[in-house]
Structure 1
Amino acid sequence: MLACDSYLLDIRTLALESVFAGDFKSKISTTHGIYYSKLTPAQLLNKACLHYFSTMEGRIQAASALLNYVKKPPFIIAPNELGVYPTASPDNDDCVWFFNHRFTIVEVAKGQSIVTFMEGTSIHVKASKHTMLKQYLRLHSLLSVSDQIGRERQIYIIDKKGMKV
Structure 2
Amino acid sequence: MENGRLLIEEYEVNSSTIILLPIVYGSRIFTKIHELEEDSISPFKPLEIVKESCYSFGSTYEGRKEAARKLIGAVQKVPIAVSPLIYLFPTTSPENPHCVWVAHEHVVDYKRGEEHCTTIVKFSNNQYIPLPISLSSFENQLIRTVMLKTKILKSKDTPTAKTIYSSKLRKSNSAEEPENYFW
TM range (shorter): 0.7 to 0.9
Residue 111 of structure 1 deviates from its aligned partner by 0.8
The letter for the 2-side match of 1:141 is: M
User: Separation in 2 of the partners of 1:141 and 1:135?
Assistant: 10
Look up the SS of the partner of 1:11 in the other structure.
coil
User: Separation in 2 of the partners of 1:60 and 1:6?
Assistant: 20
The answer to whether the aligner puts 1:154 opposite 2:158 as a matched pair is: no
**Which structure 1 residue ranges, 5 or more long, are not aligned?**
159-163
Partner of 1:76: 81
User: Separation in 1 of the partners of 2:11 and 2:63?
Assistant: 17
The answer to whether the aligner puts 1:125 opposite 2:131 as a matched pair is: yes
User: Separation in 1 of the partners of 2:37 and 2:157?
Assistant: 32
Partner of 1:63: 68
- Contact preservation (8 Å) 1:24, 1:37: no
The letter for the 2-side match of 1:11 is: S
Q: Deviations over 1:89-116 (max 9, x none)?
A: 1122221110122321121233111111
The letter for the 2-side match of 1:133 is: E
User: Separation in 2 of the partners of 1:140 and 1:116?
Assistant: 18
User: Separation in 2 of the partners of 1:57 and 1:87?
Assistant: 18
Residue 65 of structure 1 deviates from its aligned partner by 1.0
User: Separation in 1 of the partners of 2:72 and 2:111?
Assistant: 28
Residue 155 of structure 1 deviates from its aligned partner by 1.2
The letter for the 1-side match of 2:34 is: S
Look up the SS of the partner of 1:84 in the other structure.
strand
**Which structure 2 residue ranges, 5 or more long, are not aligned?**
166-181
The letter for the 1-side match of 2:162 is: I
User: Separation in 2 of the partners of 1:156 and 1:54?
Assistant: 27
Match of 2:141 among 124, 128, 135: 135
Partner of 1:6: 11
Partner of 1:116: 122
Structure 1 runs (4+) greater than 6 angstroms displaced: none
The letter for the 2-side match of 1:125 is: L
User: Separation in 1 of the partners of 2:156 and 2:135?
Assistant: 32
- The percentage of aligned residue pairs carrying the same residue is 25
The alignment's TM-score, normalised by the length of structure 2, stands at 0.80
Residue 24 of structure 1 deviates from its aligned partner by 6.3
What is the aligned length?
A: 158
Look up the SS of the partner of 1:29 in the other structure.
strand
- Contact preservation (8 Å) 2:36, 2:124: no
User: Separation in 2 of the partners of 1:84 and 1:156?
Assistant: 32
CA RMSD of aligned residues (A): 1.9
Match of 2:57 among 52, 57, 71: 52
User: Separation in 2 of the partners of 1:61 and 1:118?
Assistant: 29
